[in-house]
Amino acid sequence: MLTTSAYLLIGHICWRYEFGHKLGQGGYGYVQAGTRCKDGVKVALKIAEKKPNMPYILVPGHPKRLPMEIGLTLMANKGPKVPQIIKLLDWQDDPDHYIMVMERPIPCTNMLSFIKLQGGRLDERTARHVMQQVIHAANVCCERGVFHRDIKLENVLINHDTLEVKLIDFGCGALMKESAYVAFHGTRVYCPPEYHVNGSYHAKPATVRSLGILLFAAVCGYYPSDKDLRMISEGEWCKPGLSQECCQMISASLQPDPEQRLRLEEMRLHDWFKVLKVMV
C-alpha cells in the first residue's frame, strides 16, 4: 500500500487540505482527519486504492466517468440538502487511487461505538430518534437512484451532543434497478436471507432487512441469533423490556420472505414512531 505522501505527489488535494491523524483503515485504504486550508473547515479524507476492474459510472453534470463510490455519493447529495447523508466536498481521481473529501461532524462517533458508550444498548426514545434519521437517509438514497447496500452500525455517524445522524461510506453501493442483484457486497450479518435461498435479492427489501438488523442491535445490544430469526419468522419473537410496537417493528423488518417484509416507504409510518413521549 502506498503512503499518504506517495498518494499526494500529484493533484490538487495536497494544496487545498492539511492532513491530520488517521481516523480509520480497511481493505479499501484509509481515512484521515483534515482541515481545508482556505477556511479551516474540518474534513475527512478517504484515500482508496483502485482494484482491478473497478466500476465507473456516468453522473449527470459531470463529463467524465467517475469511480462508483464517488459517483454514488454525488448522486446521494444531488438535490435539496439532506443532513442525514454525508456530504462530499471535493474529490481527486488518479490512475491508481482516488481521494474523497467529506464533511467531518464534530463531535461524533459511529453507531457501534455510540451504543457501547450508552451501556451496550439504546433506550427506545434514543433509538427512535436515530432510526427515523437513518430510515430517511435510506429512502432519499433510493429516490436518488442509489442503493447503499452496506447500512450498518459502523456506517452511521452520531453526533454525541445533538444525536444528529449521518449515513456514510457508499463503497459497497450500486445503482438502483428494478431487477434483482445476483452478487452481494456488504457485511455478512446484514445479508438478506433471500440471497442465500435464491442467489438474488432486490434493493428495497434488502435495505429494510439492514435497517431491521440495525434496530435490533441498537435496542437489544447484540445481533439476532438463529433462534431469534426463527422466532421472528414464526411470529413468536418478543424481547422483555421493549415495547410491543418496537418488537413489531423489528419483526416486520426481519421477515425472511421479502414479500412479507415491511416496505421501505412505510417504515417511517410504523406505529413505533407514533408512540407518545412519556413525561417522567
Q: Which residue has the cell 499526494?
A: 8
Catalytic residue among 96, 150, 161, 226: 150
> Cis bond leading into 67, ω under 30°?
no
260 CB-near residues (< 8 Å, 6+ apart):
none
Looking at residue 68, its amino acid is: M
Terminal alpha carbon distance of the chain: 54
Please confirm, yes or no, whether 150 is among the known catalytic residues. Answer: yes
Neighbours of 5 (CB within 10 A): 9
**Which residues does 48 contact at the CB level (< 8 Å), separation at least 6?**
28, 29, 67, 69, 97, 98, 99, 100, 171
Q: Are strands 97-103 and 42-49 parallel, antiparallel or unpaired?
A: antiparallel
Tell me the C-alpha distance between 99 and 94, whole Å: 8
Indicate the Cα dihedral angle 203, 207, 210, 216, nearest 10°.
Answer: -150
Q: How do beta strands 88-93 and 97-103 pair?
A: antiparallel
Active site residues: 150
